[in-house]
Amino acid sequence: MADKHSYRSLRNLKLGFLALTFLFLTTGSLFLWYSWKTEKAHEVQYISTLAELTGRSINTFFDRQEQILTDLEATLPKAATPGDLKHIHLMLKEAVASHPQFTRMTLADRDGRLLLTSEIGPDGPLPTRNDIKDFQIAVQALDGGQPCYLDRALKSFIDNEWLIPIRCAMRDNHEKVTHVLSGTLPVNQQQALWNDVSLSKDASLGLLRDDAFLISRYPSPQKINFEDMYGKPRNGKLVEYLRENRFPPRGATEGYNSVAQADYLFAFYRLEHHPLTVFMSTPVEGLRAKWLWQIQVVLWLALIQAIGGFAIFRWSMRQQLAWEQDRETKEQQIEYLAHHDALTQLPNRVLAADRIRQAFSFADRDKAKVALMFLDLDNFKSINDSLGHGIGDRVLREVSDRLQSCLRETDTLSRQGGDEFLIILSSIHQPERITRVIESILQALEPIIHLEGHELATSASIGIAIYPNDGRDFETLLKKADMAMYHAKEAGRSTYRFFTEEMNIGAEEDLRIRNWLRHGLSHNEFLLHYQPQVNLQTGKVVGAEALLRLQRDGQIIAPARFISIAEDSGLIVPIGQWVLSEACHQARRWQQTGHSGLTIAVNISAVQLHRGDLEQSVLNALEQSGLPPSSLELELTESMLVDNTDRVLGIVHRLQALGVHFSIDDFGTGYSSLAYLKRFNLHKLKIDRSFVQDMNHNPEDAAIVKALIQMSSSLGMRTIAEGVELEATRVALAALHCDEIQGYLYSPPLAEDQFLAYLESRLGN
């Protein structure tokens, strides 16, 4: 029984071995066949590429030689008088000296009679032509309209050298060939044709005419019989293939090489402008020897592989298992990253949308509600810009942890990107729970964040939309929560707002105003009013502030209604460019009517400064209007100096170098940093109306105004107070040595013609 089992096992082993052997032999045979085909294909591709590159180069070479001869022919006298022939002899002699690739040039009549050469003049003894048959073939081709004819390689009847003649026609006024100008190229100096060609061992290049005559071969055989090489038409596989296929533009074949008398691979390329084919040939025997050497290496490797096959198989199985596990892990990671934020590991918008749809289903089943909160961090951009993205990222992770601590496991916290988060509160049965969660969130964000020596305060503005009251799909709720968040941000930091329909109405109003702005730009509905600026000591009008207005349906709309929308939409950039241009042109018109000392002040938006090309806009406005730069004053706000300081500082200093003045508007209402005033070297400080209007009754406002005037004076800055409406205020400002004032005490903002009339009336008084 054991023997029978052993026999069966041995038989199975033999069968397995035979099967493996058969498989190995079959596979090996297929491999040998395929590898040989591949080796030949690679070689054909290589020599085909080389043949084409060489062919293009040769085509250019012959084009250039023909051009030399045709250019020369065009300068030769058409007659054949003795004097003309002597002159032609000198011209040919000079041409050969200038183009040494030609061994000589000759001139013959159409019957083949040699008239002169570049070496022998018309009076010298000229040899008798022995190639009249080939010459007549060339003349027939030239009679057919060809400007030049590239002849086969011929043994010269002058010096017995083998040459390649290029023949060009000289024609009379009736386009009949009268003479033939020939230039000859030496066959044995072929580097001009095969320049920079690098050939492998035993490979060769050749140039074959359509009549099967070879006119050049590189490299030349060591023992060459020129008569056999160039004097007889070739035969063999390549010539046969070209004729059968009517001289195709490119290709390859395999066959007998009549020159080398061996089997060769041929690749060929037909010249575009000449009846010639460049071919490259390489011996099959050399390629086979190379291939056999490679096969020996493969056989040895196959033997080694067979010996170590089982070990490799077991190792491969282990590697396969490890790879499968790794792939599964990476797929899980990819799936995770597709639905989570990489920085905070929170669900992203895709996963949040899926979660809220599930929450909708549960809410419908349980007759509950779902709250979607849109949370935006206050002033996160200033932290990110001033301290770098590394600190900003750590702040976001800390905020994420704090927010997550305020939620249940069934709720979802999602980061939308930047400093925006979504919070989904599911299965809400008591509305008070929403408020409790919001208040816990705002409290959680209050503690200072300590990072790398920085103490960072965070707060958030939150907008809330409720399902199904405010919408029954994610996009609608998200839009309304976003709208509510912006209303919360407008109300101040660290606060929240529930969506109301009034907000929707407000959004529609914003859209309507946005359309007004676009229409106003394209239909010239913007205009400027000008409020005089008066020197407090002399009482003279020294300038004006340009104030933007919008004409709509016969009404004048003040900027308070549309400026914020223009900034949010980015339309403030083209509007601001128009204001600059119009204000500069108007100021220049005033100066041309005799008011040369007037300056014009233009307010600049932060959006213009950071998103528009303010510097170029100012340069364009000054150049187009002709206004001197010193007559333009640009008003900036404090916050514009703080944000992206280095970039803003560069713009300000470059425009100051041209003579443009800068003033700071509403100083004292924001950051009020003296360091920025010193760095920016500002010309004027404008005191905000909130301090000016009540300074006679509020000692604190009066003290602030006094301090601002004294500070400006010490920094070499002028001061202008806005919002002056009472004579008592003017007197108080004069006592404090304020330089200029602006306000309704003197004049409200005026239209262009009204302002000019105001100037004339002030001059009259």
Task: Give the CATH number, domain containing residue 468.
Answer: 3.30.70.270
- Answer whether residue 517 is part of any domain: yes
What CATH number has the domain bearing residue 231? 3.30.450.20
Comparison of pLDDT for 28 and 392, the residue scoring more: 392
| 728-758 per-position pLDDT tens digit | 999 999 999 999 999 999 999 999 999 999 9
516 & 483 share domain: no
**Alpha-carbon dihedral of residues 426, 432, 437, 441, nearest 10 degrees?**
140
585 plus 471 within the same structural domain: no
Q: What is the CATH number of the domain that holds 655?
A: 3.20.20.450
Instruction: Dump the DSSP string for 60-81.
Output: HHHHHHHHHHHHHHHHS-SS--
Could you tell me the two tokens for 224? 């060459």
Range with the lowest mean pLDDT among 231-240, 508-517, 694-703, 742-751?
508-517
Number of residues that make up the chain: 765
Q: 500 falls in which pLDDT band (50, 70, 90)?
A: confident
- What are the tens digits of pLDDT across the range 595-630? 888 999 999 888 888 776 889 999 999 999 999 999
pLDDT at 496 over 60: yes
Dihedrals phi, psi of 736, to nearest 5 degrees: -90, 0
Greater confidence (100 vs 606) lies with 100
CA dihedral sign of residues 640, 646, 647, 648: positive
Considering the domain architecture, whether residues 476 and 550 belong to the same structural domain is answered as no
pLDDT above 90 coverage of the chain, percent = 40
- Report if residue 318 sits inside a domain: yes
- Contact (CB, 8 A) for 133 and 224: no
CA atoms within a 13 Å half-sphere pointing along the CA-CB vector of 706? 11
Mean pLDDT to the nearest integer, 634-638: 85
Q: Is the pLDDT of residue 87 over 70?
A: yes
Last residue of a domain, one of 168, 186, 204: 186
Q: Do residue 77 and residue 173 come from a single domain?
A: yes
Number of folded domains in the chain? 5
Residue 758 is encoded by which pair of tokens?
């105001």
Residue 73 lies in a domain: yes
20-57 pLDDT, tens digit each: 666 767 776 677 777 777 878 888 888 888 888 888 88
For residues 26 and 530, give the distance between their C-alpha atoms in angstroms, rounded to a whole number.
Answer: 97
Q: Residue 539 CB: number of other CB atoms within 10 A?
A: 10
Q: What value does the mean pLDDT take over residues 505-509?
A: 62
For residue 68, is pLDDT > 80? yes
Q: Which of 227, 255, 288 is the last residue of a domain?
A: 288
Q: Tell me whether residue 432 is in a domain.
A: yes
For residue 704, is it within any domain?
no
* AA letter at 477: L
Q: Are residues 353 and 438 in the same domain?
A: yes
- pLDDT for res 38: 82
Range in 199-203, 588-592, 702-706 the model is least confident about = 199-203
Per the prediction, the chain carries an average pLDDT of: 84
Q: If residue 657 lies in a helix (H) or strand (E), which one and from where to where?
A: helix 645-658
Asked which of 89-103, 155-169, 333-347, 433-447 is least confident by mean pLDDT, the reply is 333-347
Same domain, 490 and 419: yes
> Are 545 and 656 members of one domain?
yes
**Do residues 353 and 213 both lie within one domain?**
no
Residue 284 covered by a domain: yes
- Tell whether 755 is covered by a domain: yes
Higher pLDDT, 302 or 343: 343
Lowest mean pLDDT among 3-12, 225-234, 398-407, 474-483: 3-12
Residue 597 shares a structural domain with residue 664: yes
Average pLDDT estimate for 434-454: 90
680 inside domain: no
Q: Based on the fold, state whether residues 380 and 480 are members of the same structural domain.
A: yes
Instruction: Report long-range pairs for 469-476 (Cβ below 8 Å, ≥24 apart).
Output: 469/369, 470/499, 472/360, 474/353, 474/356, 474/357, 474/372
Least-confidence region, from 313-317, 432-436, 670-674, 679-683: 670-674
> 572-592 vs 501-522: helix axis angle to the nearest 10?
50
Q: Does one domain contain both 466 and 574? A: no
Q: How far, rounded to the nearest angstrom, does the alpha carbon of residue 527 sit from its chain's CA centroid?
A: 39
Q: Tokens 């600026």, residue?
A: 533
Q: How confident is the model at residue 547 (pLDDT cuts 50, 70, 90)?
A: very high
* 400 plus 434 within the same structural domain: yes
Residue 174: which residues within 8 A CB-CB, separation 6 or more? none
Q: Record the pTM.
A: 0.43
User: What pLDDT is attached to residue 7?
Assistant: 45
- Residue where the block lists tokens 């006094």: 706
Distance from C-alpha of 548 to C-alpha of 561, rounded to nearest angstrom: 11
Q: What percentage of the chain exceeds 70 in pLDDT?
A: 87
Would the pLDDT of 592 be above 50? yes
Q: How far apart are CA 220 and CA 216, in angstroms?
A: 9
For residues 282 and 264, give the distance between their C-alpha atoms in angstroms, rounded to a whole number: 5
Cα of 94 vs its chain's centroid, Å = 54
Domain extent, residue 430, equals 340-499
Name the domain boundary from 438, 471, 499. 499
For residue range 710-723, what is the model confidence (pLDDT) as tens digits? 999 998 999 999 99
| Distance from C-alpha of 729 to C-alpha of 722, rounded to nearest angstrom | 11
